Amino acid sequence: MNFQWSKEYETGVAKFDEQHKALFTLVLKLQTAMEKNEGSSATRGILEELIGYTKSHFKDEEAALEASGFSGLAAHREEHVKLTNQVGRYYSDLITGKIVFSGAILNFLLNWLTEHIAKCDKEYGPHFSKHPVRPS
C-alpha cells in the first residue's frame, strides 16, 4: 500500500494539517518496520509514540472545535475516543503478550487515519473559515 500524505487530506487549518502529517509519519514508520520484518520489535515503541501524540492532537483539535462552536464536536470527539480505545487495546494486548505485531494493527491505523481525516476532519475546514479560532 502506498501510504503518504497528500493534498486530499488538507483541512485548511495549518496547525492540524501539520499534526496530521506527523500522524502519517508515525504510521508510515510502522509500515516501514513491517516491510523490513521489524514489525514486532518496533510496534510497541511506535504505538507508545502514537498514543502520546494522538492525545495531544485530539486535545488541541477538540479545544479549537469547542471554542468555535462546531456543531459536530460530539460526533468528532466520539471518533477520537474510538481510536484511542482501540489503539489502547492493541497496546495492552501487545505488552501482555496476547498478540505480537499484526498486520491488523497497521491496517486499522492506515484505514482509520485516512478515513477520519478525509471525512471527519475535512468537515471542520470550512467551519473554521467562517468561525476562525486560532488553535493554540
| Residue 75 within a domain | yes
| Residue 47 within a domain | yes
| Residue 8 within a domain | no
Query: For 82-126, how does the pLDDT look when each residue is reduced to its tens digit (9 = 90+)?
Result: 999 998 898 898 888 887 766 888 888 889 889 999 889 999 989
Residue with cell 474510538: 82
Q: Are 64 and 77 in contact (CB under 8 A)?
A: no
Residue with cell 496547525: 15
- For position 91, which CATH number holds? 1.20.120.50
* Number of structural domains found in the chain: 1
pLDDT value of residue 64: 94
| Residue 114 within a domain | yes
Q: Give me 2's grid cell.
A: 502506498
Q: Is the dihedral of CA 24, 52, 90, 115 positive or negative?
A: negative
Query: For 17-48, how does the pLDDT look when each residue is reduced to its tens digit (9 = 90+)?
Result: 999 999 999 888 888 887 787 766 677 788 88
Owning domain of residue 78:
14-130
The reported pTM is 0.87
| Residue 62 within a domain | yes
